[in-house]
Amino acid sequence: MRTVKRRPGRPSLSNEELLDKALDLFLEKGFAGTSIDAICTAAGMAKRTVYSRYGDKETLFKAALSRAIDEWIVPIDRLREQESEDFEASLIRIGEILVTNVLGPAGLRLLRLTNSESVTMPEISLENVRRGTEPTLQYLADLFRRRLGDENGNFPDAEEAAQAFLSIVVGGPASNAAWGMNIDMASVERHTRYCVRLFLHGLLEESASPPENEAGQLRRLLRDAEDRLGEARGRIEEATRLVRD
């Protein structure tokens, strides 16, 4: 009996390679400008194979974005390894890791994709925050409780301090990078050291015992009044928006 040899087919890309190809196209042309046909061509994969894996373009996009988040996330254990007796030095090392990560290829790709598509798909920003930002904020808040809290580990401003740390140390470089600015490593280190010191010494002053002199008490009262006024304005704006809607 004669044996018929089958012609070898095209080698199938791994799922990770397919998602990487899709990510590159989504970044270059945007979600609306990228077709399944273009992704299949770039990946050298049959359309039926892509549809069998993901069903539609939006599902494929979200899976690709999930992979981008996986590549971007800094493991909390890596941040914890930077801790030492020198609190300021610890924060500088942690800050440099976070800034370098957001400015790396994976971070920039995720940042630009999220910024460009989150208006029409706000859930992708929420997923980014849930999986990437929230664990980092929780770690930082815990770190501040351990290092700045009282004997029971109480530090009421821990969550706000964690958010401020990310905003001051990481937010600036991330915003600049999103606008296409190139930042060299020397600038990253200089920025991180300056911002950590600015943040930390302000935080240490805030967590110190309230001043006993009259001028210090007055400054504290004014600061509290400003905070409450800001909260009141926010509630008024929210109420106004609800009435208009």
Q: Where are the domains of the chain?
A: 15-69, 73-208, 213-245
Residues 14-41: tens digit of each pLDDT: 778 888 888 888 888 888 888 888 988 8
Q: Mean pLDDT score of the chain, rounded to an integer? A: 78
Max Cα distance, the chain (Å): 105
* Contact of 46 with 52, CB cutoff 8 Å: no
- Of 17-26, 110-119, 162-171, 207-216, which range is least confident? 207-216
What's the pLDDT at 79?
94
- Of 28-37, 163-172, 214-223, which range is least confident? 214-223
Handedness of CA 161, 162, 165, 166 (dihedral sign): negative
What's the pLDDT at 222?
61
* Contact of 107 with 99, CB cutoff 8 Å: no
Cα distance between residue 69 and residue 73, in whole Å: 6
Cα distance between residue 114 and residue 108, in whole Å: 10
pLDDT tops 50 at residue 10: no
Alpha-carbon separation of residue 191 from 39, 59, 161, 195, 203 (angstroms): 39, 39, 19, 6, 18
CATH code that applies to domain 15-69: 1.10.10.60
Cα distance between residue 108 and residue 181, in whole Å: 11
7 confidence band (pLDDT: 50, 70, 90): very low
Instruction: Write down the pTM of the prediction.
Output: 0.67
Handedness of CA 184, 186, 189, 194 (dihedral sign): negative
pLDDT above 70 covers what percent of the chain?
Answer: 75
CATH code that applies to domain 73-208: 1.10.357.10
Cα distance between residue 127 and residue 239, in whole Å: 28
Tokens linked to 110: 């995720």
pLDDT tops 90 at residue 144: yes
